[in-house]
Amino acid sequence: MGVTIKDIAKSAGVSYSTVSKALRDSPLVKEPTKKKILEIANQLGYRPNAAARSLVSKRSHTIGVVWPTIERVTHSALITGLNKQLEKHSYTTLISINEMKSAIDTFNRYQVDAIVAFDEKNSTSDVSGSTVPIVTYGIAGRSSFPTVDVQRKQAIMKAVNYLLSMGHQKISYIGDLEDDHLQKEKVNGFIEAIQKAEDPSACPVISVSDLEQYNGYMAMRKLLEHPNRPTAIISGSHDLSHGCMQAIKEHSLTVPNDFSLISYDNIPATEAFEVPLSTTGVPLEIITEQLAAALIALIQEEDIQEAIYLKPELNITPSCRQLNEGAVNEED
């Protein structure tokens, strides 16, 4: 088996408690001794035993992430970002793709310091008796755990209001998805805000069967054939937007001349498009930062709020433009 501090102690001719201190860089050990011990440890390929360490210190310095089974770019980006954030705070991230209940059970046995659960389809509802603190990422009020809520509804409303203020009256939302309360929240935001348009009925919500690029492509094609084309589009996810832009390009139309486009999902990848994409939503980095902060607060047994609402930001790029009244029809 592995090298232990006792092996190092023997090799260095000191007691193993000295080794322990040296490895933790304690000021109670003289510099030369410390250096020598570190050298030997390195040379022997010592790796601290996490089990022993967390057994005595009651801390594993590890966060467990319960990953939803559904794969999406945003999820990946989110976990990657969270991973980085936690690394900054010198926490290790471990992921489980098991069903919520058993994943949480595993993390409890492993004594991770805290757990993040993506709230998907009410999956958090039947979780009971976790000794380890849990934070959910979803919609506040749906679970009994503190929740980081990115206010999807307001994010979309902001986008609608902005487009209205720019003179757009025919706005369409792409991204309704059955049985997905996260997506419904966005749709609700659209419907609520669009009531201020002159003719809300001219502002259709397009359903999709998934949130991938291809679905956005198909949805946009549908809109392109629409007798009364919108002048602006709001799309429910990064990938959908990607597909939209492809469809638009294919018809030799352009953003923003023919369509203004705002995408939900405020992730860095949107900057990479030909026309940088306007986005709405909480910037990815803020989400991961806040999630990390919430986790660390929980670990330090600080009382944290039941709901941590993050403020969506509208990030306008040249993918949107002012609409001069009447100009649209002339262009067509």
Partner DNA sequence: TTGTAAGCGTTATCAT
Partner DNA sequence: ATGATAACGCTTACAA
Q: Where along the sequence are the contacts to a second copy (CB under 8 A)?
A: 1-2, 45, 47-52, 54-55, 58, 60, 67, 69, 71, 73, 76, 79-80, 83, 87, 92-98, 105-106, 108-111, 129, 131, 212-214, 217, 242-243, 246
**Which amino acid is located at 196 in the chain?**
K
Q: Tell me whether the omega of the peptide bond preceding residue 230 falls within 30 degrees of 0, making it cis.
A: no
Interface with DNA (CB under 7 A), residue from 11, 38, 44, 48: 48
C-beta closer to DNA: residue 6 or 311: 6
Provide the minimum distance between the beta carbon of 23 and DNA in the complex, in angstroms, as a whole number.
6
Count of residues of this chain found to bind DNA when the rule CB under 7 A is applied: 28
Provide the minimum distance between the beta carbon of 33 and DNA in the complex, in angstroms, as a whole number.
4
Provide the minimum distance between the beta carbon of 110 and DNA in the complex, in angstroms, as a whole number.
12
Write the DSSP symbol of residue 15: -
Q: Determine if 23 is a binding residue for DNA (CB under 7 A).
A: yes
C-beta closer to DNA: residue 201 or 300: 300
**Residue 21 near which of a second copy, DNA, none (CB within 5-8 Å, type-dependent):** DNA
Write the DSSP symbol of residue 277: P
**In the structure encoding, which two tokens stand for residue 307, read together?**
């709901």
Interface with DNA (CB under 7 A), residue from 18, 172, 280, 288: 18
Interface with DNA (CB under 7 A), residue from 35, 42, 43, 52: 52
Interface with DNA (CB under 7 A), residue from 11, 16, 214, 315: 16
Contact 156, 280 (CB under 8 A): yes
Write the DSSP symbol of residue 202: G
User: Using CA atoms in the order 265, 263, 121, 119, what is the torsion angle rounded to 10 degrees?
Assistant: 20
Q: Determine if 29 is a binding residue for DNA (CB under 7 A).
A: yes
**In the structure encoding, which two tokens stand for residue 25, read together?**
């860089």
Write the DSSP symbol of residue 174: E
The structure tokens 């970002």 sit at 81
Q: Any residues with CB less than 8 A from the CB of 106 and at least 6 apart, and which? A: 64, 96, 98
**Which amino acid is located at 300 in the chain?**
Q
Residue 212's CB is within 10 A of a number of other CB atoms, namely 17
C-beta closer to a second copy: residue 95 or 275: 95
Handedness of CA 307, 152, 168, 178 (dihedral sign): negative
Provide the minimum distance between the beta carbon of 44 and DNA in the complex, in angstroms, as a whole number.
11
**Residue 14 near which of a second copy, DNA, none (CB within 5-8 Å, type-dependent):** DNA
Q: Determine if 154 is a binding residue for DNA (CB under 7 A).
A: no
Residue 230: closest CA among 266, 267, 190: 190
C-beta closer to DNA: residue 88 or 109: 109
Adjacent-strand bridge partners of 307: 147
Provide the minimum distance between the beta carbon of 286 and a second copy in the complex, in angstroms, as a whole number.
20
**In the structure encoding, which two tokens stand for residue 320, read together?**
């949107």
**Which amino acid is located at 32 in the chain?**
P
Q: Determine if 131 is a binding residue for DNA (CB under 7 A).
A: no
Residues near DNA (CB under 7 A): 1-2, 4-6, 13-18, 20-21, 23-24, 27-30, 33, 46, 48-49, 52-53, 55-57
